[in-house]
Structure 1
Amino acid sequence: MKKSILAGIFAILIVVLFTGCATSTYTMGNNFTKNDVTKIIKGKTSVSELIKIFGEPSMKIVISENEENWHYNHTTSTANSSGFIFIKVKSKVISKTLNVLIKDNIVVNYTITNVENNGLTKIQ
């Protein structure tokens, strides 16, 4: 009977040593959706309307006396790790960038870029 109890305890110990998990999420910038972007009308949307929809941009670049380029960025990074001895780390990064060209305080043009990166790393 003692052998079966010890074997059970040993089996549980092995399972505990080889399992475990942790998740970490980091977010940077104001989030925006495709629906938000559809509210931009080239030649009509004003700077004040942009600020109402997206907030202040992450960066403003002055091109000329009456032109600016505004950048909005949002990044979410998530990492999941599992295992105590054989560690497996999965990461996912989603990055969105909205670049807006402004002339005389009106949107002239804009571009949006979405990047998603999934990674898997095994550490032994």
Structure 2
Amino acid sequence: MKMVKRYAGILMMLTLLVGFTSCEDDEDIYDDLIGRTWVGDLGFGYDDDPIKSAIRLDGNGMGIDYLSYYRDGSPWRDLPFKWGVEYGTLFIDYGAGYDLREIRGVHVEGRYLCGDLFIAGIYFDYIELRMD
């Protein structure tokens, strides 16, 4: 019985440690991302005709993507989205008609937002978005 209590106590401590650590990490990531504009490739366009994203993340969970889109002659297109950070993943939801973007293992290194980009749950590439 003593052994069971001991292992239960250890399990409880590990659960609390992991729970508090992940929340703190998400808050730190969130603070590093808001109020800035990040520029780079989020998987729009094609290899021969890439589209550059410039995403601004606001503190209310909303954002705007200023797409640099040259095929039809218009240099910029605004695309609003919802965003959030959960368990070290940045979720970018453009809504109906667009695949969900996830940047897993998201972190900020100096002036770069880095991580693995998944589009509709499929790995796209390791990306680095530059702070503008």
Higher strand proportion (structure 1 or 2): 1
Q: TM-score by structure 1 length?
A: 0.32
Choose 1 or 2 for highest CA Rg.
1
Q: TM-score by structure 2 length?
A: 0.31
Choose between structure 1 and 2 for higher RCO, CA contacts under 8 A separated by at least 6 residues: 1
